[in-house]
Structure 1
Amino acid sequence: MTAAAPAALVLEDGTIYRGSAYGAAGVALGEAVFATGMTGYQETLTDPSYAGQIVVQTAPHIGNTGVNAEDAESRRAWPSGYVVRAASRVVSNWRADESLEAQLERDGIVGIAGVDTRAITRRLRSVGSMRAGVFSGDALVDDDAMLASVRESPQMAGRSLAETVTTPEAYTLPALPAPGADEADPIGTLAVLDLGVKASTLRYLREQGFDLVVLPQSATLDEVLAHEPVAAFYSNGPGDPAASESQVVLLQGLLRRDLPFFGICFGNQLLGRALGFGTYKLPFGHRGINQPVLDRTTGRVEITSQNHGFAVDAAIDQELVSPAGFGRVEVSHFSLNDDVVEGLRALDIPAFSVQYHPESAAGPNDARHLFSRFRELVLEHRAGTSTKEAN
């Protein structure tokens, strides 16, 4: 067996970890973050929310089940770089179409294996997420030059990345039968703003009876309303919500038209900004499939799947008033690890959001009921509107 070429992971603070090349050769620059899932590496890689980041997998053995078309959450892998402890030398799963390394090479993801991911994670956990670079092949040069490249790369704060992962043009998807049903029970068109949407999210929305029109992140208010939607949805996605002013303005226009709204992850942060609250960058974020969240509506603790480095800045222990004029607001969910806002609910308009990924692919399914909660909100709003018109 030919020995793998050398590679290096260089952190912004000057720390260097040396290992072997994995995936594509070259240089990858981005924000180093760690993901704590013990399974689901393919879903992690194909989650567009990881664009612009170098993902460190805390699970030590990666690649043993290969990759397959069925589990992909989008059209390709998105991280800038990929870091693993032990890359599997064989693929051992009947569903596999190819090896993980083959996909990394095809999608141009520069990776490194054979490094101490536990030590890297502990450093990021202590110091915080930071800029980093993975270097291999001709890009593996002297340490000072590599460190200079890392320090010259852009910070995640202030970056707009939705345009790199969104659909290039609008497309439609029909409603699907709910699990166990013979046919779909459609309730109308849902306008989905694709900020980095995952395939599982679209599937679960369709199973709630929504015919979807999926729109690019650059869609205008007129373009959205031209589809005569019964509701609107903002997806997950990468980047700093403070750099997404056009999507905030669009959402404010939709809310002023009393259109029911549901947002997930990045969509939660943008709802917060549309309501007039600020957002801020977390030290190292929440990324993994074991994040405990309290749902105040039910009083239950849900184990959730998350991937975010920014959060809404709002008090979790009191009823709030929207600074942007949308009435009363409450924090509907919060993290039991660090009290970070994990969900918002507007009390005077039909809008709510959660910070985590209720479709949880791969991960726990505790929060999947939120999709049916959204359907109920849309139907209740329609019934209330019809009653007002009748009177």
Structure 2
Amino acid sequence: MEITSGPPPACLADYAGLARTVLPPDVWDYLDGGSGAEVTLGGNRSALDRVGVLPRVLTGVTTPRLRTRLLGRDYAMPVGVAPMAYQRLVHPDGEPALATAAREAGVPYLASVLGSTPIEQVTATGADVWFQLYWLRHRSVVSDLLARVRAAGCRALVVTVDVPVLGRRLRDLRNAFRLPPELVPANLPGGRDDLAHGGTPGVTPLSASHDAAFTPALTWADLRWLRERWELPLVVKGILDPADAVRAVDVGAQAVVVSNHGGRQLDGAPASATMLPEVVAAVGGRCEVLLDSGIRGGVDVLRALAMGADGALVGRPMLWALAVGGRRAAGAALTLLADELRDALALAGCADPAAARALRTVQVG
């Protein structure tokens, strides 16, 4: 059910309250929840809220420009739509709707290997698509998938490295959450996953499914093997330790995403925003750096830029908007985010994202 009446959301957080009214409680918990006691989930927000940005004054800025370059391509703003699985879970139009909204907003759309729509239908929207990969158990299957996403026209490959096993997500365990039978991982071989619809006591179906399909034993040698077989930009997502960021660059990554998976993996890991400045310093400009986990508005994007990031990925708010009103609402959410970022840049005295990266930040609160 979409929401078609009422005042428009004034900020991205407004979409959360609306989405909660249209989604089944167990689906809401799947989207909203984190792992364990959700300490890291909450820490992502509190860490961002403690970042104070020192605005510059008398800079003569009137209307800031948002355009930026990521991975050698021009985008309307330094934001991408984060990879998120099974988007048809929240709206029947799923991934193509959100990809279309990203195309219309002029930002990259990161398609999940666990998408509920085949990647070919996602790229057919005309969006600038980066494909996110979990490491499948057999290299031959990885090779086949690389050929498929290359043929589909994906612009970059994003390897998620922080999921050796799926985090223990207590809300899903308590709800015995499982996928509806019509929802399948459309990009996996065979396009089926019976484990995701079943049930084992003490283990969520999604965890059992993940463990069966993907290997926990990914190493730097595997990443090097992948780099040799993928000629387009390579992004490594799930980096927190600066030493790992340096190793990713050494292997050949053009970008790293500082991320704790939105608080859905190791509970007790530091907030992504906490580690961002150290990662930026460690790579020393040798690759681009994106921030993921906890982004909820234009001020958060400004904070990421001021701490040295080249851009940010926004995740849950886009699913909230998709649930509320499909492509239309997702597009409105991205327009709202652009408006917020433009206001934040103007208030900080910045003409563009590059100027924001020269701002100072302080810890507040």
Q: TM-score, normalised by structure 2?
A: 0.29
The structure that is helix-richer by fraction is: 2
The structure that is strand-richer by fraction is: 1
Q: Which has the higher contact order (CA 8 A, sep 6+)?
A: 2
Structure of higher CA gyration radius? 1
